[in-house]
Chain A
Amino acid sequence: MCLAVPMKVIEIDGNRAKVEMGGTMRVVGLDIIDPLPKVGDYVIVHAGFVINIIDEAEAQTILHDFAVLFGDDDEVHF
């Protein structure tokens, strides 16, 4: 029930957004998120509301840190 999933913002209309994951579209509420996401952002959706935006730079940093840690410090290949 506390499952929250990352989805991509396709369209924003006032305090509602159309989001997509693996071909599934949903209209979700933007009532509890500030600042608002932009079209193209990845967001965490829980129970029909966006609860946060995924920080792409942070995600990349951690993957890069792992790569360095495990000896592949040129590029992240997954």
Chain B
Amino acid sequence: MKYISEYRDRTLCENLSEKIKRSHRKPINLMEVCGTHTMSIARNGIRQILPETINLISGPGCPVCVTSQYEIDQFIELANQKDVIVTTFGDLMRVPGSRSSLQKERANGADVRVVYSTLDCLAIAQKNPAKEVVFLGVGFETTAPTIAAAILAAENKNLKNFSVISAHKIVPPALVALMENAQVNVDGFICPGHVSVIIGAQAYAPIAEKYHVPCVVTGFEPADILQGLFMLVEQFENDEAKVEIAYRRTVTWEGNRRAMQILDQVFESVNAEWRGLGVIAGSGLKIRDEFSEFDALRKFALDVPYAADPPGCACGEILAGTKNPFQCQLFGKSCTPETPVGPCMVSSEGTCAAYFRYRARDIEL
């Protein structure tokens, strides 16, 4: 496969790591806000080849993890409606709500199906005209345009039995919320590669400027991440705060305009609650009125009480970067990938799952 093996080359990565060590002097806290970065950093042992004074913090980068308990409860309630087929990406299945999970509801007879793409949902809706097919829309700007495209396709096909519950979230407002949070100490952002494919690197310019924080858009192979870290360290040492791209083979300054246009056509921004971060202004996506027939929240009157996060679970603080997984009293004890309490342990991109699986050696209790 082109441009995978090259960016995993060991000698190249060692050279990049040396370059970082040579340019680095001041202690620095760098936060990644993408679950795939979290996993790649853990899997490739990136922490182990960096000086101890470069502290990599995992932020709110896993879309399943930042989904609020209330939203999970709504999904479960939907799965229990009569004549409803709930469709979802696989990583939501095991996330515990207040009383159950989608997986448990499926075991109890609910029709919950894991799909690879919203195109699959449309096919299910066409095959099951007597049922309502609902897609659980979770994800950031990478995913939201694909859901918007499905809604537009459903409208074109005059498909009346397809709808979406939109729990999508958008990334830049979360970065603002983190910078406004006095508990959070971030000197630079490793910006998400594939969210940035859509929104373009320019989306971070106001944040870099207002908070004087370097932002580098980074790819997912070890060399991409190391190159991004080098660029962040260089900026920090030079007291700069620019937006730069370390993933130029697919990320541009402007982003994917077609995807953004489709996203804006179908969704409008609203305030949204993030697990651990609270309500963030303008960080959610609601289906616009003209597409209300595809909005599951308007089709179904769901009666779901507001729910708090599970007791003892530190997922909220872990998502805000104020705690690492080893500082959670449940981590590795009552909370493991087999028996997850919180979403950070459930999702394959969750910070706790990454730490549990790869046991970052340099994190002290």
Contact = CB atoms under 8 A, between A and B. Distances in A.
B is bound to A:
yes
B7 to A, nearest CB: 8
Count class of interface residues, chain B? 35 or more
Nearest to B141: A2
Contacts of A78: 5-6, 9, 12
B89 A55 contact: no
A31 B139 contact: no
Given A6-B2, A6-B4, A78-B6, A48 B118 contact: yes
A18 to B, nearest CB: 13
Given A2-B192, A33-B256, A49 B34 contact: no
B302 interface: no
Given A1-B347, A32-B256, A46 B142 contact: yes
B117 interface: yes
B143 to A, nearest CB: 5
B63 interface: yes
A26 B119 CA distance: 12
Nearest to A65: B227
Interface residues of A, number: 37
Nearest to B257: A34
B63 A2 contact: yes
Q: Is the interface of B mostly helix, strand, loop or mixed?
A: helix
Contact of B194 (A33, A44, A70): A44
B145 A32 contact: yes
Given A1-B347, A4-B142, A47 B1 contact: no
A16 to B, nearest CB: 8
A48 B119 contact: yes
A74 interface: no
A1 B143 contact: yes
B149 A31 contact: yes
Nearest to B260: A32
Contacts of B25: none
Given A3-B349, A54-B249, A47 B117 contact: yes
Contacts of B349: 1-3
Contact of A28 (B12, B36, B91, B117): B117
A45 B40 CA distance: 18
Contact of B259 (A32, A58, A59): A32
A32 B149 contact: yes
B119 A29 contact: yes
A52 B262 CA distance: 15
B3 A51 contact: no
A75 interface: no
A64 B329 CA distance: 47
Contacts of B11: 70
Interface string A1-42: 111101000000000000001100011110111100000001
11 contacts: A1-B138, A2-B194, A31-B152, A44-B194, A46-B142, A47-B89, A47-B117, A52-B256, A54-B3, A63-B6, A69-B19
The 6 A-B pairs with the shortest beta carbon distances in the complex, nearest first, are A48-B117, A34-B258, A31-B149, A59-B249, A32-B259, A4-B194
Interface of A: 1-4, 6, 21-22, 26-29, 31-34, 42, 44, 46-49, 51-56, 58-59, 61-63, 66, 69-70, 76, 78
Given A47-B143, A70-B12, 20 more contacts: A2-B139, A2-B194, A4-B36, A6-B1, A6-B2, A32-B262, A34-B257, A44-B250, A47-B118, A47-B139, A47-B142, A48-B118, A48-B119, A49-B145, A51-B198, A52-B251, A55-B250, A56-B2, A66-B16, A70-B15
